[in-house]
Structure 1
Amino acid sequence: MGRAKRDDGQPITIKKYANRRLYNTDSSSYITLEDLAGMVRDDVEFQVLDAKSGDDITHSILTQIIMDEEASGGEQMLPVNFLRQLIGMYGNSMQALMPSYLEASMQNFRQNQAKIREAFEKGISNSPLAKLHETNMAMMRAAADTLLSGGQVKPTARDDGATDKEELAALREQMAQMQKKLDELGK
């Protein structure tokens, strides 16, 4: 399972049969959801197809892996409040924005993860990296609050003298810049 893609550059095809078994066509072997989770962690690209219909069911399989990870009895990653907010976004007028926002946020987090961990391990809470993390978290909270409130924001004073409304305007500008960069990358 060490290869990121097949030799022809295509993602590995996994077939899911009616008996719920998963078959890796690249290695010609049956695998488990746990094996797929390992492939994700190893950055192995794959696509899961329903063996009978040929439909792409990768999304539902990845969702099932998350459900299994959350229910495994170990430490849960997704807080209840986040799950409630996420569920609340379904059917919301801002729902279409969420996938690209969450993807950009996760990509930004992954890019800065090692730097953030190093800064906190050294106990440098006033370092630029700690402030970057703090800003990223504030941006995510503000965006989620705005999306859930239907775009209505009440200005409140902050410690630094700025209001939430001013901060939100700055965050919107950052989001617009990120969206522009994502659009450019997508071309």
Structure 2
Amino acid sequence: MDMVKQDRGFVILDARTGDDITRGVLAQVMLEEETRGRAMLPVAFLRQLIRCYGHSRQGEVSDYLERMMGEFMDQQPPGGTVDGLGQENAAVVRQAMSLFTSLYAVERTGNRTVENLLQEIMDLRQQVETLQTRLDNGTDRAATSD
């Protein structure tokens, strides 16, 4: 756990087979944290994520989540967290996951047009850019409302 928190790269190999088991071990660490009362992942998010497994866009979801978490971690102030924007970031992540769910629904049912999805993507990008600007400026709602 310390190596992860220190952002040190590592690989975990099965002692018997030599197989790389890093992903499984890290997933187990997350499961243990979630069940010890340190839950971070909302149930709705987990359900949406599970629905993406085996989907033709699974790789896109994985790449997107990795990129967004990287950007989120890069935005954290040294030694601290962003309190005021945390809820807004969570809302943007929920909206992004909703969009992935929408993409899945389009493939299955064709209920939504590509134009509507593109507009949702553009709206989401604008929200992310707005949050990034606020983070860059070091402001949030709590600071401006005082």
Counterpart of 2:54 in structure 1 is 91
Matched residue, 2:101: 148
Write 1 or 2 for the structure with the bigger share of strand. 1
Aligned pairs (5 A) from 1:1-187: 37-72=1-36, 74-114=37-77, 117=81, 120=84, 130=85, 134=88, 137=90, 139-149=92-102, 150=104, 152=106, 166-171=119-124
Question: Secondary structure of the residue that 2:11 maps to in structure 1?
Answer: strand
Structure 2 residue ranges without an equivalent (≥5): 129-146
Q: CA deviation at 1:137?
A: 4.8
Q: Distance in 1 between matches of 2:24 and 2:12?
A: 9
Asked if the contact 2:12–2:20 (Cα under 8 Å) also holds between the matched residues in 1, the reply is yes
Structure ranking higher in helix proportion? 2
**Higher radius of gyration, 1 or 2:** 1
Residue identity in the other structure for 1:50: D
Number of residue pairs aligned between Structure 1 and Structure 2: 120
Q: Which has the higher contact order (CA 8 A, sep 6+)?
A: 2
Q: Is the 8 A contact 1:142 1:168 kept in 2?
A: no
AA in 1 matched with 2:8: V
- Give unpaired runs (5+ residues) of structure 1: 1-36, 121-129, 156-162, 176-187
Partner of 2:134: none
- Contact kept, 8 Å, 2:61 with 2:100, in 1: the verdict is no
Percent identity between the aligned chains? 39
* 1:99 shift after superposition: 1.3
TM-score (norm 1): 0.52
Matched residue SS, 1:46: coil
Calculate the TM-score normalised by the size of structure 2.
Answer: 0.65
**In structure 2, how many angstroms separate the alpha carbons of the residues matched to 1:45 and 1:76?**
24
